[in-house]
Every structure is written in structure tokens, then in C-alpha cells.
Structure 1
Amino acid sequence: MPDCPECGMVWSDTCEPFETNNETAYNEQLTAAFSSVSANVTPVPDLSNQSWTDAFLTVHNLLKERYAFSSRKAVDWDRLYNTYSPKIVDAEARNDSASYYRTIREYLFSIPDGHINVLSENGDFGARYTDIGGGYGITVNLLDSGKCIISYVAHGSEAEKKGLKPGDVVTAWNGKEIHDAINETPYIWATKKPSTSEGIFLHQQRFLTRGPVGSQVTISVISPEKGSETIHLTGYDDRYDTVNRSSFFLGKNINDYGIENTLFDIKPQISNDSVTVRTLPGGYTYIALYEESYDVYQPFKSAMVSAMSNNTPGIVLDLRFNGGGDDNLASCIAGWFAKEPVFYEFATTYDPGLHNDTIISAACTKPRPRIYEGPVVVMVSPDTISSGEGVPMVMNKTARGKIISWYGTDGAFGMVTAAAILPLDLEILYPDGASLDENKKIQVDSDSTGIGGIAPHVRVPMNEDTITRGMAGEDVQLMYALKYLEDNKN
């Protein structure tokens, strides 16, 4: 463990606070970690009674001062303000809540960081439905070969009536070459904001086939039966059907765009458990973790003890829906697989008194007294964010296990806090601290080139076969994980 004399707290064994099962005592330790900066901490500014324009300027200056990754992501704060401030002024002049909210999202989404976001107690003022409430009856996916194919055609849709079928190749969208069209597609309504270029491009594929109800699109396709043709489609209210269908990379169909509450409406579509455990064919143990909250540890521990007692031949750890939480718990979970200690992180926060970033804590992943030494597969996705990226990070550092997935993690690993409350009760979130490695370099968070997160060791192929199987309801990534375990049995 590197020395950290300035740290308010050092966790040489991150499992210790969870093994004691005393959450109150642990919360006191977390508070102690901030002792060095606590005297300078300022309350979250409530700007709700200011004008929209003044509040926007205030929060912009706060983010410019305190955002932890301005240099890493090469954020041009002046350009951002000059771009979006006139839109805020215009929205306020017209008292247009939808335009105001949309502009706030555009501003925040121009910074590729899943931790910079906005929460709204009053919804989106109709802006989301106006922008993406219509579907065109199809979804598309880019294959490893570079081809873009139709992956789903809604039954009874105009697209079906005009003869479009899964497997048809899309070459252009509204007159633009298909790759260019995808790259130019806005993605501001993504619920889990992407941080890497890979994650952004995935969401752009999904949003390409969304638009306003009644909007017209023209697509160029090549089909085996008809050859090349041009099809005109009209957006209709499909209750976000094509959104659900295009979420198959998560292992099931999930409405993650058309929900009302972004914090609470996704998880119930997946599971009501804190931890899901089941036995897979071949006796392998499947453990899904959806977050790193204090109450997750005991059921996870029970699952691990049971798996080892039953001599499970391999473990699949599913983190594809993991929304993050406690970094220490992520480090502790990794300790059930690590064969030797590994430094997890220095955690920093912004000190308003000193006007700089300050290290407040250090943590080390320590192997448990009894670890699982068999083969392990971790599944991730761009919805694996924040501390959810900690376990695969340790797997990379220790060369334990294989990450097998279609995509890498989100690439947002900073320490999140609230920036301000804006008019119309909008709460702005942002990271004012970073996770540093043993050399005190930023780890995991994406950079200015869009590179970041934890990439799979083995990428599941994205081809006609895997797309068809995924659309039919098969968890293709899980099948590849099982094959790896079968091929690596002791």
C-alpha cells in the first residue's frame, strides 16, 4: 500500500467494513475520509429562484472550476458557454421549459462523461417525446464487417408492409452514407450517458431509428430479393418498441429510453433482487450484481461461499446492468478472486478552499481468507458505470478471469457530487474527484479521444448470426461465457 499521509482514511482491506456488517460505523469512516477538506466544503447552491440565464452562468462557472477531468477530456468551457448560452436566453424569453431542459442536456452531453448529468423532478417537459417519440418500425446494427443491417422489423409496421426484412443492408439514411448518418445522430436522451466513443456510437445506432411522430425518413437498402431500393418511412408512436428491441446487448429487452424516472424505472425491468444467483448448465454459478450498495455484500458473500462449497467449475459475474455505488465494495468483491493484494485507488475531491484536487483516501484490494481460484468470466456493457467498472479493472490488473462481452464499460469512474439546483428543480450532477492508480494517474475515465473504460478480453462477434440470436431472445454473451468456461475447466 503506497503511503498516504494526507488521507483522511486508508482501507488496507476494503472488505473489513462490510464483514463487520455495521453500516453506521462505516458511514462514519466515510465521513472521516473528508476530514482534510470538510472545513472548506460549501453547500450545494440553490439557484432555483434565479433567472434561467443567470443560473446557467453560475453552474457553468462552477463546473469550469471544479470538474475533475477538464484537462483529460480537453473541455473547451468558453466554447461550450458561447454555444449554449444563447439557446438558454432564447428559451427563457419564450418561457419554453422543453427547450430550456433540452439545451441543458445538450450542454452536458457535449462532455463525454457519464457522471455529468441532470435529474429533473418534473420530467422532461415533453421534450423527449417531441424528439424521439416516433419509431420507423426498424432497428439497425453495425456488424464487425462494417455492414449496417436491419436487425428488427415491427409486425404490422409500414416498414414491414414495404417489404423490409431483418438482414437487409442499409447503405444510406436521409441521403447520408450510413456511417456518417449514425455519427451525426444526437444521443442526448440516453439514460445512462455514454463516456467512450464506442458507447456513444452504440447509442447513436439506437437513436438513428427514432424521431418525432410524423417525421419522414428516406433509407437506401439492399435486399437479396429486390436488390437496391429506396424506402420512405413515417415515424409513429410505437411506445418505444424499437428502443426495447435494440437493448438486446444487455441480455434482454429493456425500455431504457421511454421511462419516467431514470434512477428507479430500469432496475425493476431486470430483477427485484439485490443480487441474482442461479446455477447454469454444467453446474456453473451465475451471479449478477446491479450496484455496489452496502446491502449487496452479504448476499454476494453467501453466493460465493455456496459456489465454493459446491465446487462450482466456474463463475459468471454479470455486471452489464451495474449502476455503480461504493468503490470500496467493488474492491472487496474483487478480493474474492484476487490471488495477491493489488492497489485499488487513491480517491480525490476538489477542495474549494485550496482550489485544487486533494487526495482524501486510499484503498487496497486484499484477497479474502478463502478465494475462488477457478475460471471466472465477467460480462460488462456501456451500462456498467462508475464503481461497477472496479471489479473488471482489478481483473485487468491481476490477470484474473476474462471479460467477455460485445462492448466495454462506460468509462466514468470519478467521484460524483451535486453541482447545483437550477430553475424548474433541475439537479446537476458532476464528478469533482477522480480515481488514481498507484502512480497517481487517472484510471478508467475516458479521455479526449473517447478511449476509456474496461474493454473485453474477448469480444463476442457482432454478425448476422449473433444479432439474429440476440433478437430472438437468446443471451448470446452468456453463451460465449459458458463456452469459455467449458474450454477452461480444471
Structure 2
Amino acid sequence: MNRKQIILAISLFILASFVAGTGMTYYLNAEGRSASSDNTIQQLGKFSRIFSIVKNNYVFEENSDSLITSAIRGMLKSLDPHSIYMDKNLYNDLMIMTQGKFGGIGIQISTSDGYPVVIAPIEGTPAYKLGIIAGDKITKIENEDTHNKSLESIVSKLRGIPGTKVHITIQRVGIKDPINYTIVRDYIKVRSVPYATTLDSHYVYIRLTNFSQTASPEVGKALDSLVNGTTKGIILDLRFNPGGLITEAQKVAGYFLPRNSTVVSTRGRMSGIDKVYRTINFKTYTDIPMTVLVDRGSASASEIVSGAIQDWDRGLIIGDTTYGKGSVQTVFPLGPKEALKLTTARYYTPSGRCIDKELRGDTIVDTFTTIGGLSRLITSAGGIIPDVVIPYRKLSSTEIQLAKDNM
């Protein structure tokens, strides 16, 4: 492949990516104008020259596809932890997480400072039962250092046949020594509402563990079966809920807010990404007092719902400050088995707060007021700060050992 062919291939790849992801001519044209600038052409030319030099002169022969893939991953790594190239394994994992089940240990991870970090364990899974918590940094898998390893390679090592074991080492905030775990993989079933009941005959409790495609139907079913004329309150438990689909957050919030209320808005540079999501459910439970439980493992869609409830003065938020993931990712299919997941927007709560801590790049804390009539002061300080704060409590060495022994 000569230099001109490489430039053409790269240019076509860039354009094809956006066509496959959006299907909008306007967006394709906008990118085409940007890509035609002299500086962009020069930079692509530089890349093709370096590629050619490496391909023809490096001491070991390298596969062209691997070199291009590494270049793509390097580009995305410079953006943020959530913008990634998804090979067939990661793309399949994404489909499974929103639709089905898989074999693994039961955690959702991101990256921070080059290490995989637990966003939240999935309730009822091996990792959850052993006491792994949000914020745990995975430093080793099978005694192999995880620093600067790709997210797909980390996921591949953690996933596996149910019944097999995997050994990991974590570093936990507030604990000096690393903690070693031997975890037996199991089938990880993606269920949104594993538990719902009535407490003291008058208080409906709903445990919501994710915002997959079944979240709003399962919440609606629980409300429909448990709420009655004697119900005095609703408790929505979003602890260790790492989020999911923004449309499911919109629908879940719709059970508790008046129809046509703003739930969240998104703002970005991509055509069509600026959008206001409003409640759309026909059946609501707006006249019943409610409490939302959150912690540092409550992220993304969990923060959308809790932020909307707080902004509208609809209920009381109780727990620890949430994770602070206020960004939106769009999946651009690159073919039947691969895709680009790119951060395309930030989301804002109804009062205008952006609670993202990962993309802020500053320490500015803005103050807002709630819009439901009470005009309470609230902030955008990287996460949803509860109305009643119950700080995270560090586990004692005995509690950690008991958790590791699965007692």
C-alpha cells in the first residue's frame, strides 16, 4: 500500500465511521469540511508516512491492522476514559450488558490513572458478595500488573467460564495494604429490579441495580403491584447502580415526576445531540413522598434520576456523594462486529447542573437552586451531594476477611 493509498484509506475510514454511526447527511458533510482543511491533510500525511516507515523498517514485522488499531486506541485514550474502540468482544459485551447474561465476576469498570477502577459491583454477583466496592483499583490480575492495559484486555481476563477462578489484587482508598481476592466466576444475569417489597406495611421499597432495557418495565410492575391506598412512602434504592440507558432513566423518573417535566438535557457538538428529555409515562405516583438512596457507586443514569428528583424537590436524597459521571456516550457501529464508543455530550440536571467530575478539568464549584418551589441551594461539585449525607464507612480488617470468606 503506497502513501496516497494510505491517506485515502484513512480518510474513507473517518468518513465511513460517521456515516455508519449517524446515518445523517448533514453530519457527514460537516465532518467532510473539517477533514478537508490543509492542516488536517498534513497531519494525515504525517501519520501515513510514519505508518509506512514503521511497516517497512521496524526490527520486527508488524501486522498492518494491529498498527492501525493501536493508533486508533492511542487517539481515543487521549480523550477520556469512556471513549474507546470496541472490538468484537467488547461490542458483544455491550450488547449483553443491556440485554442478557454472561460469565464473569460481576463488576462494571472504567479507567483512572492507567488502572481499571470499579464503578460498581452488580448486586448478587461474586464480586458483590466478596465485598468489592466502587472505587476499588484493580492493580493485578493473576499477578500480572494492569497498569496501562487496554480495557478490552482487562475485561477479557475477568470474564470466563462460570465455575473457574480468577485472582485479583485491589487497592482501596483508605487502606494501605493491597487486598487479594480469589473469585469464582458465575453467570451474571442482568436484572434491573432483583427485589421489591413493602416495609412496615406502608413503605414501598424498590431495589434498582441498573438501567438496562428492562429497568422501567420492572420498576413499573413493582409500583403497580405494591402501591395501594395505605402507602405512605416510596424508597428507590440506587446504591451501586452504575447506570445504563438514558431513555430508561427518563422513563423511571417519569413515574415520580409530573408529566412533561424535564428530567435531563444533553449538550455537545454533534448534530442532533442537544436534547431535552421529559417525562412521558402516563401512570405516575407523584402524590406519594419518596426517598432515593445513593452512594459512590451510583453513576450515570442513577445520577440523572436522583438529580431530577432533587432538583424538582420531589423527594429526599440520602447516602454518600455519587460517582460523578455526567457524560453521554454514543455508539458508532463500524461494521457488524465492531464499533466506536465516543463521549459526545455532557448531561445537565433540570436546574442546569453538570455534575461530571471526569471531564471538568477544573475545581470550580457552581451553586444552583432547586426548581420545585423550595429554592434550596445545590452544587455541581462532581456528583450528586445527598440532602442527608451518610459518609462511606471503611470496613475493618475482620469485616474484609469475613467478606472474602463469603460469610
TM-score normalised by L of structure 1: 0.44
Q: Aligned ranges for residues 460-475 of structure 1 at < 5 Å?
A: 460-464=390-394, 469=399, 472-473=402-403
Answer yes or no: is 1:279 the counterpart of 2:207: no
Match of 1:400 among 314, 332, 339: 314
Distance in 1, matches of 2:198 and 2:400, equals 18
Q: How many residues end up aligned between the 2 structures?
A: 288
Distance in 2, matches of 1:344 and 1:184, equals 29
Q: Partner letter of residue 278 of structure 1?
A: A
Measure how far apart 1:325 and its partner are: 0.9
Please name the residue that 1:95 is paired with: 62
Over the aligned positions, Cα root-mean-square deviation in angstroms equals 5.4
Answer yes or no: is 1:298 the counterpart of 2:223: no
SS in 2 for 1:300: helix
Answer yes or no: is 1:38 the counterpart of 2:24: yes
Please name the residue that 2:87 is paired with: 120
| Cα distance change on mapping 1:206 and 1:306 into 2, 3 Å | same
Q: Partner letter of residue 302 of structure 2?
A: G
Please name the residue that 1:66 is paired with: none
Distance in 1, matches of 2:299 and 2:319, equals 11
| Cα distance change on mapping 1:383 and 1:435 into 2, 3 Å | closer
Q: Partner letter of residue 403 of structure 1?
A: I
Please name the residue that 2:94 is paired with: none
| Cα distance change on mapping 1:306 and 1:203 into 2, 3 Å | closer
Answer yes or no: is 1:239 the counterpart of 2:153: no
Q: String of CA shifts for 1:65-89, please: whole Å, max 9, x gaps.
A: xxxxxxxxxxxxx9xx99xx99x96
Check the 8 A contact 1:402/1:457 in 2, yes or no: yes
Q: Partner letter of residue 121 of structure 1?
A: K
Please name the residue that 2:277 is paired with: 363
Measure how far apart 1:427 and its partner are: 3.2
Measure how far apart 1:434 and its partner are: 4.2
Please name the residue that 1:68 is paired with: none
Check the 8 A contact 1:382/1:407 in 2, yes or no: no
Please name the residue that 2:293 is paired with: 378
Please name the residue that 1:227 is paired with: none
**Structure 1 runs not aligned, ≥5 long:** 1-33, 46-57, 63-77, 125-182, 194-201, 216-237, 248-254, 260-264, 352-356, 475-490
Q: Partner letter of residue 303 of structure 1?
A: A
Please name the residue that 1:432 is paired with: 344
Measure how far apart 1:402 and its partner are: 3.3
Distance in 2, matches of 1:317 and 1:420, equals 38
Q: Aligned ranges for residues 119-138 of structure 1 at < 5 Å?
A: 119-121=86-88
Answer yes or no: is 1:307 the counterpart of 2:244: no
Distance in 2, matches of 1:89 and 1:280, equals 65
Q: Partner letter of residue 408 of structure 1?
A: T
**Structure 2 runs not aligned, ≥5 long:** 1-20, 37-42, 92-110, 121-132, 146-164, 174-180, 364-380
Q: String of CA shifts for 1:274-324, please: whole Å, max 9, x gaps.
A: 422333764543323344455433321121123321744543323323431
Distance in 1, matches of 2:142 and 2:234, equals 44
Please name the residue that 1:235 is paired with: none
Check the 8 A contact 1:185/1:207 in 2, yes or no: no
Measure how far apart 1:394 and its partner are: 0.4
Identity of aligned residues (%): 17
Match of 1:323 among 238, 243, 264: 243
Check the 8 A contact 1:407/1:456 in 2, yes or no: yes
Q: Partner letter of residue 137 of structure 2?
A: R
Check the 8 A contact 2:327/2:356 in 1, yes or no: yes
Distance in 1, matches of 2:198 and 2:361, equals 41
Please name the residue that 1:337 is paired with: 256
| Cα distance change on mapping 1:470 and 1:191 into 2, 3 Å | closer
Answer yes or no: is 1:186 the counterpart of 2:99: no
SS in 2 for 1:275: coil
Distance in 2, matches of 1:326 and 1:190, equals 22
SS in 1 for 2:249: helix
Distance in 1, matches of 2:268 and 2:249, equals 19
Please name the residue that 1:443 is paired with: 354
Distance in 2, matches of 1:203 and 1:105, equals 26
Please name the residue that 1:213 is paired with: 143
Match of 1:452 among 369, 382, 386: 382
Check the 8 A contact 2:85/2:339 in 1, yes or no: yes
Q: Partner letter of residue 195 of structure 2?
A: V
Please name the residue that 1:413 is paired with: 327
SS in 1 for 2:339: strand
TM-score normalised by L of structure 2: 0.51
Q: String of CA shifts for 1:359-414, please: whole Å, max 9, x gaps.
A: 664332378554352341232444622x3332112022122333334441341332
Distance in 1, matches of 2:144 and 2:169, equals 16
Distance in 2, matches of 1:341 and 1:428, equals 33
Q: String of CA shifts for 1:48-80, please: whole Å, max 9, x gaps.
A: xxxxxxxxxx9xx89xxxxxxxxxxxxxxx9xx
Distance in 1, matches of 2:190 and 2:393, equals 32
| Cα distance change on mapping 1:448 and 1:349 into 2, 3 Å | closer
Distance in 1, matches of 2:215 and 2:194, equals 10
